[in-house]
């Protein structure tokens, strides 16, 4: 059974991808304050880390 870390990671990745797509799909040029590409990539990275933590926890539980 997957832990909540896995599902939280999936939601962060989905949210980051949607945010990145919206940011890259803008037609007008964005100012530095409006450019959220770094934040979107950060959310994706947080999601990946949470999924990795989930797999590590599952491996530890299987050994016990």
pLDDT, one tens digit per residue, over 16-57 is 999 888 888 876 776 765 677 888 889 999 999 999 999 988
For the four alpha carbons of 25, 26, 32 and 36, in that order, the dihedral sign comes to negative
Q: In this predicted structure, what is the pLDDT of residue 63?
A: 77
Helix (H, G, I), strand (E, B) or coil at 45: helix
Q: In this predicted structure, what is the pLDDT of residue 32?
A: 62
pTM over 0.95: no
- How far apart CA 15 and CA 41 sit, in angstroms, is 10
Q: In this predicted structure, what is the pLDDT of residue 11?
A: 94
pLDDT above 90 (res 61): no
pLDDT above 60 (res 1): no
């Amino acid at each position: 059974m997957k832990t909540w870390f896995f599902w939280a990671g999936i939601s962060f990745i989905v949210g980051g991808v949607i945010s990145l797509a919206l940011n890259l799909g803008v037609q007008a040029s964005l100012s530095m304050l409006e450019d959220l590409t770094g934040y979107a990539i950060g959310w994706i990275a947080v999601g990946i880390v949470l999924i990795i933590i989930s797999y590590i926890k599952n491996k530890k539980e299987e050994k016990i």
